[in-house]
Structure 1
Amino acid sequence: MTTRVGKKPAAPRKRAYHHGDLRQALVDATLKLIATEDVGAVSLREVARRAGVTAAAPYHHFRDKDALLAAVAEEGYRALNQRMDESLSSIRAPRTDNQLRALARCYVRFAVEHPAHYRVMFRQEWGDEEKYASLHAEGMRAYGRLQELAKETTGGKVDMDTLAFTVWAWVHGLASLWNEGPLRKKTRSDSIEPLLERSVELFVGWVMPK
């Protein structure tokens, strides 16, 4: 087979997106960008470039960068909620100690396995409940489980929200310190699992002493 001398090779064709695919492709490109750089590197133009679409294409789905990041955060909460549902479904009530273990493991493992989602799920921008209604709903669904568990655990003897805040701060801090590096350095481990199990048993023993 011969080709004409000097003829330029055909430019690669941009991926053709079917209806509904572009939005997810932009979210996926954002996650990859956050994983390799950071949230500060995200812009609609850069995400479009990485997704292989025109600079104007993201505006069909997202009004600005915050709207795109909100979609990433909402996807994270939705995935976390699904994992919590699956984990709790195998535990018979009223074993609140096992429910607490399950929720703690789900939260920390999700954060470690999906650090790009985790970085954007708790941004201050999402405090506008009206502007980010669906994101707020998914976030409250996750937090609501902690509230329900705290209520069952204390039997009204301890302030429900205080206990829920404490549990949240524990798992959030554990996951964040691991993802950012300090705990990996201190434990000299490539896996959070041994520390997670020891921490879970310690915390459950404190909250629910036998």
Structure 2
Amino acid sequence: MPKTLSPEDIQQFREAMRRVAENAFATRGAQGVTMRELAKELGCSAMTPYRYFRDKDDILAMVRAAAFNRFAARLEAAAQNIPAAASAIDHSAVSYAYVAFALDEPHAYRLLFDQTPQQQSAYPELAAASQRAWRLLGAHFERLVAAGVLEGDPALIGYAYWTSLHGFTMLALANQLPLPAAQQTDTDGDATTAAHEPSREAVFAQILRMLWRGALPQRN
């Protein structure tokens, strides 16, 4: 007779599965992963995961929800540290937090936006986590417009920022952008000079300057 699972047992197994499945889904795609493979990588019997999850999509939804919550927490922490009277450029902390999360957790980031969207009504935990992240971004730009820091439709500004940050992030993850300044060296192994290719940080800073300038209030 199967052992009765305690809440602690369930949580421990789900967390172990999350770590294994995040890597599997991010590197092989949802279609390239099976329940049997996940069980093997976790070191349990093929049927054990079914005691905790309905199917593979249930596991993917759990993994994505956890990633969205970590992403939202990173953005919330950055937003909370911005002074009330901060200038426009000081609000870039949220943008830097966005990119930092993706570079720190590339597998998690890819699962947020590089997978076929799931029917969120079937996964309340995933829906809540996703809405948490987007509520934060939406409220951030609404505050900036209300305070007169930016001018325009907050939703439109938010989408423009998101597409720009996402494009930069995906190119960075694909190693299609200049190296970070700390990694740039010349052929002799010495640090590059300003005359060489701009650093990845410089590219991102330029993107933010251009974005801010485009949404700043027009002065007569």
Query: Does the pair score TM above 0.5?
Result: yes
TM-score normalised per structure 1: 0.78
Corresponding pairs, count? 188
TM-score normalised per structure 2: 0.74
Indicate whether 1:161 and 2:155 are aligned: yes
Once the 2 structures are TM-superposed, how far is the Cα of residue 94 of structure 1 from its aligned partner?
4.2
Indicate whether 1:59 and 2:53 are aligned: no
Q: Describe the shift of the 1:194–1:62 C-alpha distance in structure 2 as closer, same or farther (beyond 3 A).
A: farther
Match of 2:28 among 33, 38, 49: 38
Tell me if structure 2 keeps the 8 A contact 1:44–1:65.
yes
Once the 2 structures are TM-superposed, how far is the Cα of residue 121 of structure 1 from its aligned partner?
1.2
Percent identity between the two aligned chains = 25
What is the RMSD computed on CA atoms of the aligned residues?
Answer: 2.5
Q: Describe the shift of the 1:88–1:160 C-alpha distance in structure 2 as closer, same or farther (beyond 3 A).
A: closer
Once the 2 structures are TM-superposed, how far is the Cα of residue 197 of structure 1 from its aligned partner?
2.9
Tell me if structure 2 keeps the 8 A contact 1:153–1:208.
no
Match of 1:125 among 110, 117, 121: 117
For residues 7-86 of structure 1, what are the structure 2 equivalents within 5 Å?
Answer: 19=9, 20-34=11-25, 37-39=27-29, 40-86=31-77
Once the 2 structures are TM-superposed, how far is the Cα of residue 115 of structure 1 from its aligned partner?
1.3
Q: Partners of 1:99 and 1:49 in 2: how far apart? A: 48
Mark the runs of 5 or more structure 2 residues left unpaired by the alignment.
1-7, 184-198
Task: Output the amino acid matched with 2:160.
Answer: T
Once the 2 structures are TM-superposed, how far is the Cα of residue 203 of structure 1 from its aligned partner?
2.2
Tell me if structure 1 keeps the 8 A contact 2:179–2:200.
no
Match of 2:81 among 83, 90, 95: 90
Tell me if structure 2 keeps the 8 A contact 1:29–1:51.
yes
Q: Partners of 2:117 and 2:70 in 1: how far apart? A: 20
Q: Partners of 1:60 and 1:81 in 2: how far apart? A: 29
Q: Describe the shift of the 1:88–1:98 C-alpha distance in structure 2 as closer, same or farther (beyond 3 A).
A: farther
Q: Partners of 2:211 and 2:121 in 1: how far apart? A: 35
Q: Deviations over 1:45-100 (max 9, x none)?
A: 11111110111111122212111111111111111111122222221224362564
Q: Partners of 2:87 and 2:38 in 1: how far apart? A: 43
